[in-house]
Amino acid sequence: MSPARYVILGVFAGIATSAAPVQFQSSERQAALVELYTSEGCSSCPPAESWLSGLKEASGLWRNFVPVAFHVDYWDYLGWRDKWSSKQHSDRQRAYAGVWGSESIYTPEFVLNGKEWHNWLGLGGVPGSSGTKVGILSVTSRDTNHWDVSFIPAAGGTTGYEVNAALLISGVGSDVKAGENAGRHLKHDFVVLKLVTQPLILKNAGFQGAFVLPAQEKKLEGRLALAVWASCSGRPEPVQAVGGWLVPSEKTK
């Protein structure tokens, strides 16, 4: 297999290997990708993060909706460097702004299925599937490190697609010493640790690919998860999404 088909992500040691395959698979109907752009340096962000954290126990998590929190780096200049922040996350938000023809970006900002979303506080319940049949996205692994990807679009055709794979961590926090949130203990869930995008290859009736999650020396306390979404080549908007926990909850350990 060509090395070009592999995506390299970082994952922290401590995930037990298993002989039984691990598979996350969407239905044919579109799952909602819920993106939050946030920062520990933003005093308006904690309520948005609290709302996102509330999705951990919500019905339909990973099946009807996939939440991810991108910590941006453009608030770091205020005196507190958000350790979860990345220029890559800020660039993704700017890519959305370019699609929408917007001249500015801000936090907290929610993006739902590739569209700016303002009514998250007024939502009666949790985000759900759009009901649109877009295709089946699945990822499979025997060790939660090496993953195979398959996307079978509902409409067929030869449109180019790419896979986006994000390693997430939940149940983490920070004692903020400076900036707008100085003196506060902030809790975070669904934080994006690593994000990689890779082209998918047309094969038979679908698109195929693979990525690798190699172990790193450093381990963070928290619960890891994987979020994966397919998008049209060169576009930030998701077409289909899927995900799941990589380690058990405290209740099941």
For the entire predicted model, the pTM comes to: 0.89
Q: Looking at residue 125, what is its pLDDT?
A: 64
Amino acid at 95: A
Residue 216's alpha-carbon distances to 142, 145, 152, in angstroms, are 18, 11, 32
Q: Looking at residue 67, what is its pLDDT?
A: 97
How large a percentage of the chain has pLDDT more than 90? Answer: 70
Higher-confidence residue of 156 and 46: namely 46
pLDDT, average across residues 161-190: 96
d(CA 33, CA 171): 20
Q: Looking at residue 217, what is its pLDDT?
A: 46
- How many other CB atoms are found less than 10 A from the CB of residue 205? 8
Q: Looking at residue 16, what is its pLDDT?
A: 46
Give residue 123's pLDDT band: very low, low, confident or very high (50, 70, 90). low
d(CA 177, CA 40): 10
Beta-carbon contacts of residue 135 (< 8 Å; ≥ 6 apart): 28, 151, 152, 153, 154, 155, 230, 239, 240
Q: Using one digit for the tens of pLDDT, what is the confidence trace for 27-77?
A: 999 999 999 999 999 999 999 999 999 999 998 999 999 999 999 999 999
Query: For the chain, where are the alpha helices, taking DSSP H only?
Result: 45-53, 87-100
d(CA 126, CA 115): 16
Residue 235's alpha-carbon distances to 27, 54, 170, 208, in angstroms, are 22, 29, 27, 18
Is pLDDT above 90 for 174? yes
d(CA 80, CA 75): 8
Which of 54-63, 169-178, 214-223 is the least confident region?
214-223
